[in-house]
Structure 1
């Protein structure tokens, strides 16, 4: 029951402020048509209900399962399996990520179908998958994260020189949408679970963090590569 109350408070804190702002704008400045404003109110109700149920599911299922998988994998003592599971889960959660689908549909619409939504989704999923695998390898081999971040962003800035200008903002948006409500809880729990088993003390267990920041670079590079191809 405490978890239900806590989740309700989280959803209220997330949805209520934007609802108040839109209502104030409707009353004072914007004056949307009544039917459109009513659609917004109905949408707020559905979003609140969906968000509430989603967060309950995250706390009840995704986080515990992700952390449990992360704790079981190191016990196999197979590095290739740890990295391989990271690759597969990174790909799967990206395909399921609603934010990625919204971006892909927007790009498909703006480009007039030149960049099909499925191509963008697949590119982003592959990019995130590869970098989740890299992040798992970083945890296994205790590679300092600042070296990886510096190297990866160097690649990003070099690619930006050759990529058509229209693809640069798309690529960074692609990196942002992968840090959505589906990918973050599962991947973060997986990384913390692996680090907690591989590392002998609590400070070293913090190596499980930074995984999302590193993994989100993958979609940026993947979409830039897509820009090179389409450009």
Structure 2
């Protein structure tokens, strides 16, 4: 019960300031009562949705991610851990609402030239590959900075060969993968993997997966732009 109460207050504190600012702005602009009522109905629905989602993350996604992450290394096979990290990275990205919003808008603006399904697949594949690399980094103890330097070095190189529209989309794709579904699950997965590896620290190795995972979609979309060019 206390957990539900805490989530309730967290959501209210998050939604209330935005609501007050928007209502004030609507009053200054003298918007119609109908628009204000529609906005307030939307606020109520968003608040309920956020409460349910946050509760679902707390009691479902986080424990599940940590359980899977802790169980996989016990198989004693590195390729199994990396493979399931890859698969989980792919499916949670496909399920990410932010990714679907971005790809739908791009599909509409480009009039179908940049297909929604193709873009979702590319973004999910980018995340999946880099989640696998992030888990490999935990297993081998590779410094995070080395992987980030190489990854962003490739980003800057590909940026010279990619059309401008794909360059803009690529960085937006990296941003939307840090959404409410992908982030809690991947972080929990990383902490679970790091917690059972001998000589490793869950506090240092368990984090950083999101930093690497967000580079994957950027590279994937940039490569897609090079292909489309």
Task: Give the TM-score taking structure 1 as reference length.
Answer: 0.96
Counterpart position of 1:161: 160
Match of 1:34 in 2: 33
Structure 1: state its 5+ residue gaps. none
- State the match for 1:207 in structure 2: 205
Q: Which residue of 2 aligns with 1:11?
A: 11
- The whole-number CA distance in structure 1 between the counterparts of 2:65 and 2:87 is 13
Change (3 A) 1:110 1:58: same
TM-score (norm 2): 0.96
Q: Is the 8 A contact 1:90 1:129 kept in 2?
A: yes
Instruction: Output one character per residue of 1:114-154: Cα deviation in whole Å (capped at 9) or x when no partner.
Output: 11211111110011011100101001111000000000000
How far apart are 1:213 and its partner, in Å? Answer: 0.5
Q: Secondary structure at the match of 1:162?
A: coil
8 Å contact from structure 1 (residues 86, 136) kept in 2: yes
Whether contact under 8 Å (1:164, 1:227) holds in the other structure is: yes
Partner of 1:221: 219
Retained in 2: the 8 A contact 1:64–1:189? yes
Aligned residue pair count: 229
Instruction: Say if 1:199 and 1:205, in contact at 8 Å, map to a contact too.
Output: no
SS of alignment partner, residue 178 of structure 2: coil
Unaligned ranges ≥5, structure 2: none
Q: Report Cα offsets for 1:157-212 as digits up to 9, x if no partner.
A: 000000111111210010000000000001100000100111436x4642110110
| Alpha-carbon separation, structure 2, partners of 1:127 and 1:140 | 20
Distance 2:65 2:120 in 1: 23
Q: Is the 8 A contact 2:191 2:202 kept in 1?
A: no
Stretches (4+) displaced over 4 A: none
Which residues of 2 match residues 20-99 of structure 1 at below 5 A?
20-28=20-28, 30-99=29-98
Moved more, 203-212 or 2-11: 203-212
